[in-house]
Amino acid sequence: MITLQPFDRHQSLTVTPTPTGVSLQGRLQIPGDKSISHRALMLGALAEGKTTIRGLLLGEDPRSTAACFSAMGAQISELNTELVTVTGIGLGQLQEPVNVLDAGNSGTTMRLMLGILASHPDRFFTVTGDDSLRSRPMSRAVAPLTEMGAQIWGRKGNSLAPLAVRGQALQPIHYHSPIASAQVKSAVLLAGLMTYGRTTVTEPALSRDHSERMLRAFGAQIDVDPETHSATVTGYPTLTGQQVIVPGDISSAAFWLVAGSIVPGSELYIENVGINPTRTGILVALELMGADISLENQREVTGEPVADLRVKHSQLKACEISGDLIPRLIDEIPILAVAAVFATGTTVIKDAAELRVKESDRLQVMAAALTKMGAKITELPDGLEITGGGSLIGAELDSFTDHRIAMSLAIAAVMATGTTTIHRAEAASISYPTFFDSLQSIIKS
């Protein structure tokens, strides 16, 4: 049914559903939340004392974060899901690395780290990444940091990596961000940790708030105004090591929520999923589409709301996904596009132009791939228009080394007639190393 085959330096996934169809049944434990994993490693490195992390995501992106902060003097034990220990060196004490810092494929690592590096006076840093990351715009984070007095140089007007950073004594600002971006907000707030006074970020809509929650847990003074979508940090707090338990990543759960909804006869139980309100846009969108999803055993873990999710097959209907909902589900739009293919009516996704500068141009790549599989889909400047109710046929596709594309197309392939081949499918390991094994385990013929 599913095979992962080596192909040159990459791997190709082949999916061939049985002619009689399949259903999806079982319990799933998903990887730790990627956003929280990054922040736990970073703040643990900046704090005084020891931080313990349970449930850390073992994907490539957190490994990049751990490697960067280890190179600057933090002591980080071998990464695993059971227990990782970070011995921090204190705010402002990061050492000048002897080599270039490599963020790999992780935009979160690079953008958040820029705020930290820029605020370490009299130290010099160079940051790079893989081919994909070096083509992604960093100007959205560089611009507010420059306004604070940061000195950052890079290609194409200081917008592309490799980036060189000379740490400075920065000034606090009130930054009115033109976009709702947790990465931009976090970069500015992290820089604000080492400025005298109060640094504020105001957004047009509320972006995910993991940084605010974790900064507060580590001892920073954080003030949040939900009405104005503003967050303020007061400089030079004492950060103290904490015990962090990382919940499951709702962005990873999204693939199973959609799969369980569109594959007839399916019922899946997904354990320990973070349901932070700034991240639950996927639940809102699927509810609008008529999905059968229930939240069970709701609780709070290390300041983050958590629940177990049960999803059953249902007939989805079209809806519009736009506006303030977009920042709450920006990473889930590729898999929502797959859901829309099997919904009755025409689903419209708007206000999502940011997807064009992710690991790939996700709007263009998903539109092209689903069209190749027989879907009726129109690419918009800032979104997609998808007329559902049809069927898909197997095709030869490419992930473009984008983890969310690889996994979204794998779910589409389960519902296709014939064989689908997805090249460079190993990209899934960036955020979900066991995804294909989990998919294989729940398929019932």
Catalytically active residues are 331
Residue 198, amino acid: R
Q: Are 5 and 383 in contact (CB under 8 A)?
A: no
- Token pair 């940011």 in the structure block, residue: 354
Report the distance separating Cα 19 and Cα 14, nearest Å.
15
Report the distance separating Cα 77 and Cα 75, nearest Å.
7
Cα distances from 345 to residues 121, 320, 337, 374, 410, in angstroms, run 57, 11, 13, 16, 23
Report the distance separating Cα 350 and Cα 347, nearest Å.
10
- What is the full DSSP assignment across 38-78? HHHHHHHHHSBSEEEEES---SHHHHHHHHHHHHTT-EEPP
- Nearby residues of 6 by Cβ (< 8 Å), 6 or more positions away: none
Backbone angle region of 17, left / alpha / beta, with phi > 0 → left and psi within -120 to 50 → alpha: beta
